Amino acid sequence: MASRLASEPAAMSDLLTAALGRESVDAVAIRIDCDATALEFFPRAFVQPVAEALAGQAGLDFSGSQDEVDTFAGDDDTRAACPYCGALPVAAVLRDEPEIKGRRTLLCSLCLAEWTFPRTRCPACGEERAEKRPHHVAESWPHIRVEECGSCRTYVKAIDLRENGLAVPIVDELASAELDLWAVEQGLTKLRTNLLGM
Ligand SMILES: [Zn+2]
Ligand SMILES: [Zn+2]
């Protein structure tokens, strides 16, 4: 696949445009006859460090209080997307802080920024009722929970730093692919796949 892309610079350019515009890569996949999910890896791997560096340079910090997040994000519907680059989150992170116990942030799939998000709310549909928001923890990954939504059947993995203070959310999210396999078996769809297409 990489060699096919290398021999067609226009396809790579179209892929980057799609990734930056958060559009589907399906059209390019059909053109060069590749699997779309696998093809997504290339623009994301290329764009991610650039987006991360830009977010870092801008010095933005959306991990502040909920009031600050509300002020910035406006209405509820926009809040599940990264306030810096607009991409969807790849995971959630839970941690205790002096003023807020069990604060939940979302981790951007593209620029890796984190922003505060209501603890129980589904980032896909806004569902907040506790009975619709079960979570699943496997013995092999005691510090990661699969947060399901009974309303829209979407899930995100939450890395719980209270259970393992040494966990690295972006790494553990990638490493715990067995949890994604489990979730798919339950008929759940991930809010945003990771770099490996899981
Ligand atoms: Zn972002
Ligand atoms: Zn939902």
Asked if 169 and 94 touch (Cβ cutoff 8 Å), the reply is no
Region 136-160 average pLDDT = 97
Q: How far is the CA of 137 from the centre of ligand 2 (A)?
A: 19
CA torsion through residues 141, 180, 15, 123, sign: negative
Kindly list the structural domains of the chain, giving each domain's residue range(s) and its CATH number in brackets, ordered by start.
2-39 (no CATH), 66-190 (3.90.1670.10)
Which ligand has the shortest distance to the CA of 155? 2
pLDDT > 80? residue 76: no
pLDDT > 90? residue 63: no
Q: Give ion ligand 2 contacts, CB < 5 A.
A: 122, 124-125, 127, 149, 151-152
Which ligand has the shortest distance to the CA of 128? 2
Which ligand has the shortest distance to the CA of 112? 1
Q: How far is the CA of 126 from the centre of ligand 2 (A)?
A: 6
Q: How far is the CA of 40 from the centre of ligand 2 (A)?
A: 24
Question: In this predicted model, what pLDDT tens digit does every residue of 119-138 receive, in sequence order?
Answer: 999 999 999 999 999 999 99
Asked if 79 and 116 touch (Cβ cutoff 8 Å), the reply is no
Sequence letter at residue 124: A
Between these two residues, 165 and 70, which has the higher pLDDT value? Answer: 165
Which ligand has the shortest distance to the CA of 154? 2
Strand 154-160 vs strand 89-95: parallel, antiparallel, or unpaired?
parallel
pLDDT given at position 69: 46
Region 68-79 average pLDDT = 46
Q: What is the mean pLDDT of the chain?
A: 86
Q: How far is the CA of 64 from the centre of ligand 1 (A)?
A: 16
Q: How far is the CA of 153 from the centre of ligand 2 (A)?
A: 6
Which ligand has the shortest distance to the CA of 109? 1
Q: What DSSP letter does each residue of 131-197 carry, written as one string?
A: GG--EEE-TT-TTEEEEE-TTT-EEEEEEETTT-TT--HHHHHHH-HHHHHHHHHTT-EESS--TT-
pLDDT > 60? residue 173: yes
pLDDT > 90? residue 4: no
Phi, psi of 145 (to 5 degrees): -120, 145
Q: What is the value of pTM for the model shown?
A: 0.81
Region 1-12 average pLDDT = 81
Which ligand has the shortest distance to the CA of 108? 1
Asked if 173 and 91 touch (Cβ cutoff 8 Å), the reply is yes
Q: How far is the CA of 81 from the centre of ligand 1 (A)?
A: 8
Which ligand has the shortest distance to the CA of 126? 2
